[in-house]
Amino acid sequence: MDVPASHPRKESLETRHKIVEGIEQGITSTCGLIAHGRGEAFDYLIGEQTIPPADKAIHAAVSKLLQAKHPVLSVNGNVAVLVPEEYIALGKALNAPLEINLFYRTPERMKSIEKLLHSKGCECLLTGEDARIGVESERRKIDSQGQAKADVILVPLEDGDRTEALKRAGKYVITIDLNPLSRTARQADITIVDNITRAVPLMIKYAEQSAKQQTFNNKENLEETLEYIKRRLNGRIFD
């Protein structure tokens, strides 16, 4: 789907089209479209830019992932179509495997995502379901060599249940979620309130610079994000 170069919302429309094409290719779930729309709404509120609290969270996240013994990067149907190359590059930069974990898990979707990531050069992809975490959804199926033994897990565009279960299992959870009010955002150890399309390239950059350890408080960071949004809504920082 071509968007005219002159269209003022070209980038946003192209991103939206990636999700639509992902559905047509059996990669993204239909609900992934709804999740994307919710993300877009929150992206407007932060001005479709990486705001200072997100940058701080990205630094802290990369530092934690670099220090981890067994970091794992979780992939769902939205992540797979929005940032496939970047996510693979992040895995390489952090020496971390990617693991497919789907809410709407079907063998067909698993295969489509696996095929896509392999075609983009992913060499370290986990898809096993020989271990479990404490949720009832299909997300309970995890790989014994991945999330099951991971100490730090990146779970972008997530629903709250798995974050809660991973925390109960003693894992350190990092998320990327444009909604600072979501259950995932509130329960994760580090929440990056930014669009995954901006956050992952920055994560690669900071990983290559070996981001130093940061003191980080997720609750305070989310408060800062909400303050930022409030200031924007009050019209104080519009051009």
Rounded-to-integer distance, Cα 25 and Cα 111, Å: 11
Rounded-to-integer distance, Cα 236 and Cα 93, Å: 39
Nearer Cβ to ligand PTJ, position 76 or 225? Answer: 76
Structure tokens at 71: 């970091």
102 lines the binding site for ligand PTJ (CB under 6 A): yes
Nearer Cβ to ligand PTJ, position 104 or 216? Answer: 104
As to burial, measured by CB atoms within 10 angstroms (0-12 exposed, 13-18 middle, 19+ buried), residue 155 is buried
36 lines the binding site for ligand PTJ (CB under 6 A): yes
Using CB positions, name the residue nearest to ligand PTJ.
39
| Interface map 153-172 toward ligand PTJ (x if CB under 6 A) | ----xxx-------------
* Among 90, 88, 212, 97, CA closest to 150: 97
Nearer Cβ to ligand PTJ, position 63 or 182? Answer: 182
Rounded-to-integer distance, Cα 81 and Cα 32, Å: 11
Residues 67-96 within binding reach of ligand PTJ (CB under 6 A): 76-78, 82
Q: Which of 182, 191, 218, 221 binds ligand PTJ (CB under 6 A)?
A: 182
The DSSP symbol for 237 reads: S
Rounded-to-integer distance, Cα 18 and Cα 136, Å: 30
Rounded-to-integer distance, Cα 126 and Cα 149, Å: 12
Size of residue set near ligand PTJ by CB under 6 A: 25
Nearer Cβ to ligand PTJ, position 189 or 194? Answer: 194
Binding site for ligand PTJ (CB under 6 A): 29, 31-32, 35-36, 38-39, 42, 76-78, 82, 102-104, 157-159, 176-179, 182, 195-196
